[in-house]
Structure 1
Amino acid sequence: MTENSKDPEGLSYRALAMLRAVAQDRAEITVSQEPDLYVDGLPCSDQITAHLLAHAGLIRPARDGMPGGRVPAKLSETGQALVAPLVPAA
Structure 2
Amino acid sequence: MTENTKDPEGLSYRAQAMLRAVAQGRAEITVSQEPDLYVDGLPCSDQIAAHLLAHAGLIRPARDGTPGARVPAELSETGQNLVEPLVAAA
- TM-score, normalised to structure 2, is 0.91
The answer to which structure has the higher helix fraction is 2
Number of equivalent positions: 86
Which residue of structure 2 lines up, in the alignment, with residue 62 of structure 1?
A: 62
- The runs of at least 4 consecutive aligned structure 1 residues that moved more than 2 Å come to none
The CA distance in 1 between the partners of 2:33 and 2:68, in whole Å, is: 9
Asked if the contact 2:54–2:60 (Cα under 8 Å) also holds between the matched residues in 1, the reply is: yes
CA deviation after TM superposition for structure 1 residue 87, in Å? 1.7
- TM-score, normalised to structure 1, is 0.91
RMSD: 1.2
The CA distance in 1 between the partners of 2:55 and 2:17, in whole Å, is: 17
The CA distance in 2 between the partners of 1:14 and 1:83, in whole Å, is: 13
Question: Mind listing any 5+ residue stretches in structure 2 that lack a counterpart?
Answer: none
Q: Deviations over 1:44-73 (max 9, x none)?
A: 000000000000000000000010000000
Sequence identity percentage: 88
CA deviation after TM superposition for structure 1 residue 6, in Å? 2.2
Which residue of structure 1 lines up, in the alignment, with residue 44 of structure 2?
A: 44
